[in-house]
């Protein structure tokens, strides 16, 4: 038996070569799909491997070469196999052999699979015929895979290359988003933005880039993060003192500038909005605190009431009943002492519409800001006001606080001049300060 192996692009090519080399009596022993060429085992082109054979007598044109001695059958071989192996096998000359001698191990029924001239290798059979053929052990070669066009192959190779590059990127530098956008991440860390929040923003920016099929660059990440910060800082209500507000309470730790802030806002209400304003102060713990507010009251020509306990509030409200707006200055107490905070909450009882402003200094560490806000939020807090904006280069605490506690932004003070150095918070200005020197186009 003469056996030969072919590697071709399609079955028609294989049939043509088999007919040319082995003749029309050749038998296909096996077919399978393989890959050849490519780079490091990838991107190889699909081909079909075909093993064909022809009886030695047919290949020699009817002449009968010298038969070889029959090989003894193994002791445990099946009867059919023993009978088949007992038949003489024709041998070719050594220079004509392409493979070592192969015994006839195929069942006799497989001889019906000889290649016919002008006929396909495998003919489609009805389902019942296919099942019967399978039970009878007839060999049916599998259908050859459809040949892809050059364009399909090109797209497939590009897709595989992209997957490979993504894997390499993850292995070499994908352990941290910091390797992808170092300038943005470092800038946000310098502004003391919560690192977990930074990772969330960068991850979301990467997802947006993939959805839009755009390259994930620093410019793209910067635009995405700006929008995400704006979404956190967006105002759901009025930032300034509402026209219907009758009492505005100001609470916060010591040294944040509550009294000066009250003077600035009172001057704005008197000079700009022409409202009649009054002062109440309970800050009797700090030396000269009452005198400081009394000085501002004299300059603005507004009344001032001093209370020493919650019981004095009713008298103070009655004395200022003709005022359109009352500013209440509370004492700065140790925010870690819950008893002091509870005492302060007792002073926040008021008559009519009121708003409570938490006053925080931008020079305070965010860890302390978070603790302060956590204690005060046990009671009624409406808005947050930041002071000393001009004394810091770090503004990430504003974003952290709004994200963690959901407080409404109100005013930002950036100096000690009364009444000039205070304004309503501009979210876009905060974003520009945080994202300074980063590409946004």
Which of the two residues, 135 and 423, has the higher pLDDT score?
423
Distance between CA atoms of residues 413 and 258, nearest Å: 11
State what percent of residues in the chain have pLDDT above 90: 24
Token pair listed for 43: 């991107």
Q: What is the model's pLDDT at position 28?
A: 84
Distance between CA atoms of residues 410 and 423, nearest Å: 9
Q: What is the model's pLDDT at position 229?
A: 95
| Cα three-residue angle 419-423-426, rounded to 5 degrees | 170
**Cα distances (Å, whole numbers) of residue 112 to 43, 129, 130:** 38, 15, 15
Give residue 361's pLDDT band: very low, low, confident or very high (50, 70, 90): very high
3-state secondary structure of 291: helix
Token pair listed for 359: 């006053």
Distance between CA atoms of residues 228 and 226, nearest Å: 5
Assess contact for 333 and 253: CB atoms under 8 A: yes
Which of the two residues, 182 and 103, has the higher pLDDT score?
182
Element (H, E) at 30: strand 27-36
Q: What is the model's pLDDT at position 105?
A: 44
3-state secondary structure of 91: coil
| Cα three-residue angle 277-282-284, rounded to 5 degrees | 130
Return the closest-CA partner of residue 262 out of 287, 296, 290, 310. 296
Q: How many CB atoms lie within 10 A of CB 109?
A: 12
Is the pLDDT confidence value at 81 over 50?
no
Which of the two residues, 341 and 224, has the higher pLDDT score?
224
Give residue 65's pLDDT band: very low, low, confident or very high (50, 70, 90): very low
- Among the listed ranges 55-64, 297-306, 411-420, which one has the minimum average pLDDT value? 55-64
Q: Looking at residues 21-35, what average pLDDT do you find?
A: 83
> Domain residues of the chain, as ranges?
2-136, 148-175, 247-424
Give the strand pairing for 2-8 and 45-54: antiparallel
Is the pLDDT confidence value at 362 over 70?
yes
Q: What is the model's pLDDT at position 438?
A: 53
Could you tell me which residues come within 8 angstroms of residue 173 by beta carbon, excluding any fewer than 6 positions away? 179, 180
In tens, the pLDDT along 106-161 reads 444 444 444 444 444 454 545 555 555 445 555 556 666 666 677 777 777 777 77
Assess contact for 92 and 100: CB atoms under 8 A: no
Buried b / exposed e over 304-319, threshold 16 CB at 10 Å, is bbbbeeeeebeebbee
3-state secondary structure of 284: coil
Q: Looking at residues 273-299, what average pLDDT do you find?
A: 82
Q: What is the model's pLDDT at position 176?
A: 43
- Helix intervals (H) in 147-257: 150-173, 182-190, 195-211, 218-233
3-state secondary structure of 73: coil
Give residue 339's pLDDT band: very low, low, confident or very high (50, 70, 90): low
Assess contact for 407 and 400: CB atoms under 8 A: no
Distance between CA atoms of residues 339 and 334, nearest Å: 9
Average pLDDT over the chain, rounded to an integer: 75
Which of the two residues, 154 and 165, has the higher pLDDT score?
154
Q: How many CB atoms lie within 10 A of CB 343?
A: 16
Q: Looking at residues 203-213, what average pLDDT do you find?
A: 89
Is the pLDDT confidence value at 395 over 90?
yes
Give residue 358's pLDDT band: very low, low, confident or very high (50, 70, 90): very high
Q: Looking at residues 331-348, what average pLDDT do you find?
A: 61
Handedness of CA 197, 198, 199, 201 (dihedral sign): positive
Q: What is the model's pLDDT at position 228?
A: 94
Helices 182-190, 195-211: inter-axial angle, 10-degree rounding? 150
Reported pTM: 0.57
What's the CATH class of domain 247-424?
alpha beta
Greatest mean pLDDT range, 74-88, 236-250, 277-291: 236-250
């Amino acid at each position: 038996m003469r056996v030969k192996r072919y590697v071709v692009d399609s079955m028609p090519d294989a049939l043509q070569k088999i007919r040319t080399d082995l003749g029309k009596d050749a038998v296909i022993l096996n077919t399978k799909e393989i890959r050849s060429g490519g780079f490091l085992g990838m991107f190889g082109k699909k081909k079909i491997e075909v093993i064909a054979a022809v009886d030695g007598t047919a290949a020699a044109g009817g002449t009968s070469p010298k038969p070889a001695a029959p090989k003894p059958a193994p002791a445990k071989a099946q009867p059919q196999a023993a009978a088949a192996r007992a038949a003489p096998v024709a041998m070719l000359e050594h220079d004509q052999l392409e493979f070592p001698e192969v015994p006839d191990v195929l069942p006799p029924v497989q001889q019906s699979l000889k290649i016919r001239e002008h006929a396909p290798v495998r003919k489609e059979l009805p389902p019942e015929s296919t099942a019967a053929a399978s039970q009878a052990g007839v060999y049916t070669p599998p259908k050859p895979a459809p040949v892809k066009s050059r364009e399909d192959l090109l797209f497939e190779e590009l897709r595989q290359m992209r997957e490979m590059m993504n894997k390499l990127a993850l292995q070499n530098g994908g352990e941290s988003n910091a390797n992808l956008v170092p300038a943005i991440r470092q800038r946000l860390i310098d502004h003391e933005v919560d690192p977990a929040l930074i990772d969330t923003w960068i991850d979301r920016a990467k997802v947006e880039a993939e959805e839009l099929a755009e390259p994930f660059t620093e410019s793209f990440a910067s635009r995405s993060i700006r929008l995400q910060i704006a979404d956190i800082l967006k105002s759901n209500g009025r930032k300034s003192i509402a026209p219907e507000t009758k009492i505005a309470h100001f609470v916060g730790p010591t040294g944040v500038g509550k009294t000066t802030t009250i003077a600035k806002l009172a001057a704005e209400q008197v000079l700009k909005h022409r409202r009649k304003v009054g002062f109440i102060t309970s800050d009797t713990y700090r030396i000269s605190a009452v005198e400081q507010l009394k000085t501002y009251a004299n300059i603005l020509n507004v009344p001032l009431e001093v209370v020493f306990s919650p019981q004095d509030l009713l008298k103070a409200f009655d004395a200022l009943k003709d005022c359109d707006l009352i500013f209440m200055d509370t004492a700065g107490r140790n925010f870690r002492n819950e008893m002091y905070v509870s005492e302060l909450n007792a002073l926040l009882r008021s008559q009519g519409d009121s708003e409570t402003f938490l006053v925080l200094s931008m020079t305070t560490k965010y860890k302390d800001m978070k603790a302060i806000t956590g204690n005060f939020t046990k009671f009624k807090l409406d808005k947050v006001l930041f002071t000393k904006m001009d004394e810091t280069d770090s503004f990430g605490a504003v974003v952290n606080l709004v994200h963690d506690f959901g407080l409404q932004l109100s005013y930002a003070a950036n100096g000690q001049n009364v009444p000039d150095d205070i304004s309503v918070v501009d979210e876009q200005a905060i974003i520009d300060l945080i994202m300074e020197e980063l590409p946004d186009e």
